[in-house]
Amino acid sequence: MDEKNYWERLEFRICQEFQGFDDKHLRWHWCDGLVTEEYDLLGEQPRIRGQAPSAATAHLRGSPAPSAHGPRPSAN
């Protein structure tokens, strides 16, 4: 497996994890790529730093889109 394939598989795995959340709002999120910024492989605790942007599709599934001011009140 090369590095590009590794990051693609990890992105897919993160998407799968979102689908498994109990929180219904989080289930509609997905990882929109992984951006590596710093490799620290020789440190005491090797790590890779970067960003994992995410987005949601709730509004595409007929559910109300999440608000920037918090969840909308339930109609029930």
pLDDT score, position 39:
94
| pLDDT at res. 24 | 83
Positions in the chain short of pLDDT 50:
60, 63-76
Among 28, 37, 2, 31, smallest CA distance to 14 is for 31
**CA gap 44, 38 in Å, rounded:** 15
Q: pTM of the predicted model, to two decimals? A: 0.65
pLDDT at res. 12? 93
pLDDT of residue 25: 82
Diameter over CA atoms, the chain: 54
